[in-house]
Amino acid sequence: MENRKIAIVHYTYPPVIGGVEIVIQAHARILVKNGYRVKVISGVGESENGIEVKIIPELRSLASFEETLDKKLKEGEVSKKFYQLKEEICLKLEDELRDVDVCVIHNIMTMHFNLPLTCALKQLMEKLSSRVTFYLWCHDSALMNPAYQKDMAQKDKYPWSILSEFIAQAEYITISELRQRELAALFSIDSELIQVVPAGIDLKSYLDISDSVWNFAQDKELFTSDIVMFFPSRILKRKNYELGIKVIKEIKKRGKKCKFIITSPPDPHNPGTINYFDYLHKLCRDLEVQEEVIFISDFKESYDLKLDFKEIKDFYSICDALFITSTQEGFGIPLLEAGAKKIPIICTDIEPFPEVTGDFALRVNLTEDIPQIATKILNYLNGIPTFSMFKRVTAHYSWEAIYENYVKKLVDEDAK
């Protein structure tokens, strides 16, 4: 539900860089983008574009501001100062949570970097769980990590014992099935009581895609399609686009979600290309693949697409294969572009394509029937591990997919 307020709690937030900080920032951004109010409560960090960052210095690693207290805790001494700091933190956090619907706590309840904070949060969960939904997002556990065993000498004593305590007032989330099994073993509970929400990737930033191409790809469901093939070229009859359209129809018939992207508009000075363009649209309607075959020129204005050199590179980055359907070519520059972008090449078996690609492309003969070509394409792509991994990442591990598949349900779970 939009306008719900979500608090995210961690020791630090960007510009401090770390794996957990990257996940938190991605969660905060995607939640704000989808209409939620987000407050990050942290010991260090900076606000950004709709994300309020509330700094409470006492949330930092204890050793960074109370080194003596941290040392005494590791020696088993729980001093008066520990309890004073715990209560100070508790009061400040309670004040920050007064208008919050959901509070997501990252790593603090299973890590030992600030035990007064860990204990303060446990106290607050017991007090506030009737009105605030708490999630404990566990990326790691000090008790299960060999790297921290030298710090765990007091693990059976308070406050260290909190790290192995299952907190019933919260729901637990881990980032992998491995962490789920480890945490379930630590708490002696059924692993089904712990949800798994994987980490993700900022796909747009990582692929360096323009806003226009990104929005187009999102709306046309390119990232969730099983196969996206691309043919950057002018509208000319020798390009033989109807072959690609018929192949897409066959792949669709086999239950695959597929797309064929064609870049260029017809030449306004050549009536023949305009007629061919109209024929291709009619063929798409006749074969019922209007949604699967995309002529980008139809959407240039609505998405502010330039189709310049940068945007053509963007399309190579998000498509799964180059598919050249031509009956005649003098060279085939897109073959080089696809090779440079490391994407699979499918092309007709005409001269001079073998000269350019060698054995590093799937070539289909113009005399082959459509079902045979479709089968070859599917078998070829499914035999390329990088293709399959790319589809897995784009469909399941972008932050947009993580939000839709996991986070949205979590933050709305108790909403009425």
Name the token pair of 329: 């070519």
pLDDT confidence tier of residue 416, bands split at 50, 70 and 90: very low
Structural domain including 258 reads 204-395
> Each residue of 2-20: pLDDT tens digit?
589 999 999 999 999 999 9
Distances 195 to 166, 181, 398 between C-alpha atoms, Å: 14, 11, 19
> Each residue of 274-297: pLDDT tens digit?
999 999 999 999 999 999 999 999
Question: Could you tell me which of 60, 3, 49 has the C-alpha nearest to residue 25?
Answer: 49
In the three-class reduction of DSSP (H, G, I as helix; E, B as strand; rest coil), residue 136 is classed as strand
335-339, Cβ contacts within 8 angstroms, sequence gap of 24 or more: 335/361, 337/232, 337/312, 337/313
Residue recorded with tokens 């692929």: 207
Whole-number Å distance between alpha carbons of 149 and 155: 10
Name the token pair of 341: 């972008």
Whole-number Å distance between alpha carbons of 40 and 26: 12
Same domain, 385 and 251: yes
Same domain, 403 and 278: no
Q: Exposed (0-12), middle (13-18) or buried (19+): which is 78, by Cβ within 10 Å?
A: middle
Backbone angles phi, psi at 232, to 5 degrees: -85, 115
Same domain, 170 and 271: no
Same domain, 243 and 333: yes
Question: Could you tell me which of 77, 46, 73, 75 has the C-alpha nearest to residue 62?
Answer: 73
In the three-class reduction of DSSP (H, G, I as helix; E, B as strand; rest coil), residue 8 is classed as strand
Same domain, 297 and 362: yes
> Each residue of 92-130: pLDDT tens digit?
999 999 999 999 999 999 999 999 999 999 999 999 999
In the three-class reduction of DSSP (H, G, I as helix; E, B as strand; rest coil), residue 104 is classed as strand
Percent of the chain scored above 70 by pLDDT? 99
Question: Could you tell me which of 395, 309, 322, 303 has the C-alpha nearest to residue 361?
Answer: 322
Question: Could you tell me which of 231, 238, 243 has the C-alpha nearest to residue 369?
Answer: 243
> Each residue of 308-349: pLDDT tens digit?
999 999 999 999 999 999 999 999 999 999 999 999 999 999
Above 60 in pLDDT, residue 214?
yes
Name the token pair of 408: 């949205």
Cβ pair 213, 305 in contact under 8 A: yes
Same domain, 265 and 405: no
Stronger pLDDT, 269 or 82, i.e. the higher one: 82
Backbone angles phi, psi at 172, to 5 degrees: -100, 140
Name the token pair of 357: 């690609």
pLDDT at 415: 56
pLDDT confidence tier of residue 215, bands split at 50, 70 and 90: very high
Average of per-residue pLDDT across 55-81:
95
> Each residue of 345-394: pLDDT tens digit?
999 999 999 999 999 999 999 999 999 999 999 999 999 999 999 999 99
Which CATH number characterizes residue 377's domain?
3.40.50.2000
pLDDT at 414: 62
Same domain, 188 and 69: yes
pLDDT at 297: 92
Whole-number Å distance between alpha carbons of 107 and 404: 23
Cβ pair 37, 5 in contact under 8 A: yes
Number of domains in the chain: 2
Same domain, 195 and 53: yes
Same domain, 94 and 240: no
Same domain, 271 and 184: no
Average of per-residue pLDDT across 247-269:
93
Question: Could you tell me which of 199, 211, 253 has the C-alpha nearest to residue 24?
Answer: 199
pLDDT at 202: 97
Question: Could you tell me which of 407, 408, 416, 414 has the C-alpha nearest to residue 130?
Answer: 414
Same domain, 30 and 42: yes
Length of the chain (residues):
416
pTM: predicted TM-score of the whole model, two decimal places? 0.91
Torsion angle in degrees (nearest 10) through CA of 354, 357, 361, 363: -20
Question: Could you tell me which of 202, 172, 205 has the C-alpha nearest to residue 186?
Answer: 172
Same domain, 137 and 46: yes
